[in-house]
């Protein structure tokens, strides 16, 4: 411990939670600086109290009235002295004997080993850097609280476009993928699924940023990661509507992107029908009940068509066509190659013109519920029908690269929900089937409040709650980002061991969802600049403010460094 900066203020009470420091004339303290003070406890010996500066103040001692400021500063006609002080929140007491530091105790800047103790780095089994402090050195989180050993998941909140939520989430992923020396076994064959929900910002993670400077690179080196784009990325996008037999990715700035879709066979086998009904209003009636009955019947009736991969026909299982059968369609028999074909086929069972719906398919529900079910299916054909097409499988291969980016920004809201729900179910089902935590599967989802809202129910919300509650034990970890944490299902937020916040709206900052922040930190959160975040983790009792460096990867086509044009060679 070196560099004494002042003494514990004796004009007001100290406590085990906070104390104030009178700063020496030749020294300074700024926000987020780390300090330590030694206290001699009778009968127990020396106790070190570590803390972080949460506020800095200055005052003229001797001034009683506002006008005294001029008399002291300019005229010298009145005695007085400028005194600076800092408010410190206690982060740690070592040994753990919780006593208040003595007034007048010498306060030193925490460096080296003392800094590690103040940040509990010495007790972290796998400290992963998540940003830089004011002193330019790394701040760490205990990876055990993310990868499922002691806790899991991360929640990132803040104002859109200012809080840089997605940028921080990607920075965290780059630390995960770049610090194999820390991540260890959890990083082997790590798979990351990223949903690009706005613009095409995330479709350039493998391209260098032309605005990246040497100063930015040095900050990455301090964090122990090579300042380069993500080395292993695969990009996927939906096909353009009405693109015919040739699947063209529905992207504007980049065309070297793989196209994803589901065949009718996959749509049925994977039980994706409920994700067509994700509107909150659908849960207030029996539409989801009908969807479950129809889903079960489709699995029984669907038979593969010879010569048309992924297509099916619906035949009564009493005819003896078991799983894996291949049939040649009869004359006039409807072959289901698209979602529109499936809707037409279901209409014969659910909404026939010459009678009542077949209760084997609908259950005992009111005809109006069946009609509402069919209306939503018809609407889905327009909004996401191009995602269901027969032919060679275009399933997203999440094993092709370490980071898989799925661009859903061009889809209708219903289509976005469908894709998110389908891929979440696939990832979770794979881990349930294997029963193994490793390799880890990390999901990055922006606009979490849309998919797991506080109010209402939907199949996607149920899936996200299940991931939040059971995912860490299976190795499925969620990095959720949202503008307002107050609009996200509490079951999802409560299971996020690591919480991160950028700039917040003043009203949002006062919500109880941010109760983990200190009052001073809440006030600062309204003014944070892009690139500055507040991080809370179970290993440290107070939130910390960190900066994370500028990304070395591009976030739009205009930022791609010269010579890395994605259109070259096409």
Domain boundaries, the chain: 4-118, 127-260+396-550, 264-387
Q: 3-class SS at 350?
A: helix
Residue 281 has pLDDT above 80, yes or no: no
Model pLDDT for residues 142-160, shown as the tens digit of each residue:
999 999 999 999 999 999 8
Contact 173, 401 (CB under 8 A): no
Q: What would be the CATH architecture of the domain defined by 127-260+396-550?
A: 3-Layer(aba) Sandwich (3.40)
Residue 411 has pLDDT above 90, yes or no: yes
Q: What is the mean pLDDT of residues 518-527?
A: 91
The CATH code of domain 4-118 reads 2.40.30
Name the band, by pLDDT with cuts 50, 70 and 90, for residue 185.
confident
Q: Which residue has the tokens 């205990």?
A: 142
**In three state form, how does the secondary structure of 81-144 look?**
EEEEEEEEEEEEEECCCCCCCCCCCEEEECCCHHHHHHCCHHHCCCEEEEEECCCCCEEEEEHH
Residue of 566, 546, 543, 544 whose CA lies nearest to 554: 566
Residue of 202, 229, 191 whose CA lies nearest to 402: 191
Q: What is the pTM of this model?
A: 0.90
Top pLDDT among 321 and 345 is at 345
Model pLDDT for residues 445-456, shown as the tens digit of each residue:
999 999 999 988
Contact 190, 177 (CB under 8 A): yes
Q: What is the mean pLDDT of residues 417-446?
A: 93
- Counting residues of the chain whose pLDDT is more than 70, the rounded percentage is 95
Residue 356 has pLDDT above 80, yes or no: no
């Amino acid at each position: 411990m070196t560099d004494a900066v002042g003494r514990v203020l004796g004009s007001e009470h100290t406590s085990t939670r906070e104390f104030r420091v009178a700063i020496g004339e030749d020294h300074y303290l700024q926000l987020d600086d780390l300090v330590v003070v030694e206290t001699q406890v009778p009968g127990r010996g020396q106790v070190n109290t570590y803390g972080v500066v949460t506020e800095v103040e200055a005052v003229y001692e001797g001034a009683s009235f506002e006008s005294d400021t001029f008399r002291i500063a300019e005229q010298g006609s009145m005695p007085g002295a400028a005194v600076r002080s800092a408010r410190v929140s206690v982060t740690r007491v070592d040994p753990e004997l919780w006593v208040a530091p003595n007034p007048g105790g010498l306060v030193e800047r925490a460096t080296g080993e003392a800094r590690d103790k103040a940040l509990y780095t010495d007790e972290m089994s796998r400290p992963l850097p998540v940003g830089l402090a004011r002193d330019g050195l790394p701040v760490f989180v205990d990876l055990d609280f993310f990868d499922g050993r002691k806790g899991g998941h991360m929640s990132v909140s803040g104002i859109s476009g200012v809080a840089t939520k997605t940028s921080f989430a990607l920075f965290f992923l780059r630390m995960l993928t770049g610090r194999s020396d820390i991540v260890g076994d959890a990083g082997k064959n790590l798979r990351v699924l990223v949903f690009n929900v706005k613009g095409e910002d995330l479709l350039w993670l493998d391209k260098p940023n032309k605005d990246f400077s040497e100063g930015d690179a040095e900050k990455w080196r301090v964090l122990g990661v090579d300042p380069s784009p993500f080395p292993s990325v695969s990009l996927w996008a939906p096909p353009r509507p009405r693109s015919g037999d040739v699947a063209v990715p529905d992207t504007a700035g980049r065309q070297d992107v793989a196209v994803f879709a589901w065949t009718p066979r996959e749509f049925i086998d994977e039980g994706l029908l409920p994700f067509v009904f994700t509107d909150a209003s659908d849960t207030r009636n029996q539409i989801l009940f009908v969807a479950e009955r129809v889903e079960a019947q489709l699995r029984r009736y669907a038979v593969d068509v010879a010569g048309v991969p992924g297509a099916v026909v619906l035949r009564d299982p009493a005819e003896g066509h078991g799983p894996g059968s291949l049939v040649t369609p009869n004359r006039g028999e409807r072959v289901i190659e698209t979602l529109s074909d499936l809707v037409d086929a279901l209409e014969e069972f659910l909404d026939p013109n010459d009678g009542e719906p077949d209760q084997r398919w609908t259950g005992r529900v009111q005809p109006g519920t069946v009609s509402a079910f069919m209306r939503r299916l018809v609407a889905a054909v327009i909004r996401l029908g191009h995602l269901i097409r027969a032919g060679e499988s275009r399933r997203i291969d999440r094993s092709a690269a370490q980071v898989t980016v799925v661009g859903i920004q061009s889809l209708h809201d219903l289509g976005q929900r469908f894709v998110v729900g389908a891929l979440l179910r696939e990832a979770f089902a794979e881990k349930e089937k294997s029963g193994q935590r490793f390799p880890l599967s990390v999901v990055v989802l922006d606009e979490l409040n849309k998919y797991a809202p506080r109010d209402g129910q939907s199949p996607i919300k149920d899936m996200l709650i299940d991931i939040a509650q059971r995912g860490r034990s299976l190795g499925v970890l969620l990095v959720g980002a949202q503008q307002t944490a107050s609009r996200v299902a509490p079951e999802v937020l409560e299971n996020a061991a690591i919480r991160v916040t950028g700039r917040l709206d003043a009203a949002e900052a006062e919500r109880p969802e941010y109760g983990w922040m200190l009052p001073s930190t809440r006030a600062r959160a309204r003014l944070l600049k892009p690139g500055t975040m507040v991080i809370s983790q179970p290993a440290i009792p107070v939130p910390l403010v960190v900066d994370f460096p500028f990304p070395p990867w591009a976030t739009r086509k205009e930022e791609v460094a010269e010579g890395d044009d994605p259109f070259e060679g096409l």
